[in-house]
């Protein structure tokens, strides 16, 4: 789950994920669940910073309709 937040605010090099997998394999389906794990963070961002994050929250929620 923590891995879902690593690039929450800024992209990280693809090499990071390759290196991570050498130390701790990433579960199958991680990419499909990534936005699901980010929904609580998006909710908090909307609460604190307002509507500027509402679009990102909506997009994440729609991915799981």
In this structure, how many other beta carbons lie within 10 angstroms of the beta carbon of residue 16? 13
Average pLDDT over residues 3-16: 91
pLDDT-based confidence at residue 8 (cuts at 50, 70, 90): confident
Predicted confidence (pLDDT) per residue in 23-63, tens digit: 998 889 988 898 999 999 999 999 998 889 999 999 999 99
CA angle 57, 44, 64 (to 5 degrees): 30
Distance CA 47, CA 31 (A): 26
Q: Which residues have C-beta within 8 Å of that of residue 33, sequence separation ≥ 6? A: 4
Average pLDDT over residues 16-20: 90
Q: What is the pLDDT of residue 44?
A: 94
Whole-prediction pTM: 0.75
């Amino acid at each position: 789950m923590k891995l879902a937040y690593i690039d929450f605010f800024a992209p990280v090099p693809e090499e990071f994920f390759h290196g991570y997998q050498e130390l701790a394999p990433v579960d199958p389906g991680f990419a499909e669940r990534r936005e699901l794990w980010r929904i609580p963070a998006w909710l908090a961002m909307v609460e604190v910073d307002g509507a500027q994050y509402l679009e990102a929250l909506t997009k994440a929620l729609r991915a799981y309709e």
